[in-house]
Amino acid sequence: MSKFIIEGGQALCGEVTVSGNKNAALKLLPACLLTDEPVILHNIPAIRDVQNTMLVLRDLGVDVVELGGGSWRIHARNVDKAELDPELAARTRASFVFAGPMLARVGRVVLPIPGGDVIGGRPLDTHVQALTALGASVSMSQRGVFEMAAPRLRGAGHLLLAEASVTATENAVMAAVLAKGDTIIDNAACEPHVRDLCDFLNSMGGQIEGIGSNRLTIRGVDKLHGTEFRIGSDFMEVGSFIGAAAVTGGEVRIRDAQPRNLGMIRLVYKRFGVRWEDDGEDIIVPGNQEMMIHEGLGGRIPEIKPLPWPGFPPDLMSIAVVLGTQAAGSILLHDWMYESRFFFVDHLTFMGARVVLCDPHRVLVQGPCKLFANPAGVPSPDIRAGMAMVLAALCARGTSTIHNIQQIDRGYEQIENKLRGLGASIVREAD
Q: List residues with catalytic annotation.
A: 117
Q: What gap in Å lies between CA 408 and CA 417, rounded to an integer?
A: 13
Q: What gap in Å lies between CA 398 and CA 214, rounded to an integer?
A: 47
Q: What gap in Å lies between CA 98 and CA 408, rounded to an integer?
A: 23
Q: What gap in Å lies between CA 404 and CA 236, rounded to an integer?
A: 20
Strand order in the sheet with 303-304: 303-304, 329-334, 362-367, 354-359
CB neighbours of 3 closer than 8 A, spacing ≥ 6?
Answer: 377, 401, 402, 403, 404, 405, 428, 429, 430, 431
Helices 263-270 and 235-248, axial angle in degrees (round to 10)? 20
What's the maximum distance between 2 C-alpha atoms anywhere in the chain?
Answer: 64
Per residue, the 3-state secondary structure of 93-113, as one string, reads HHHHHHHHHHHHHHCEEEEEC
Backbone angles phi, psi at 396, to 5 degrees: -85, 155
Q: What gap in Å lies between CA 49 and CA 69, rounded to an integer?
A: 18
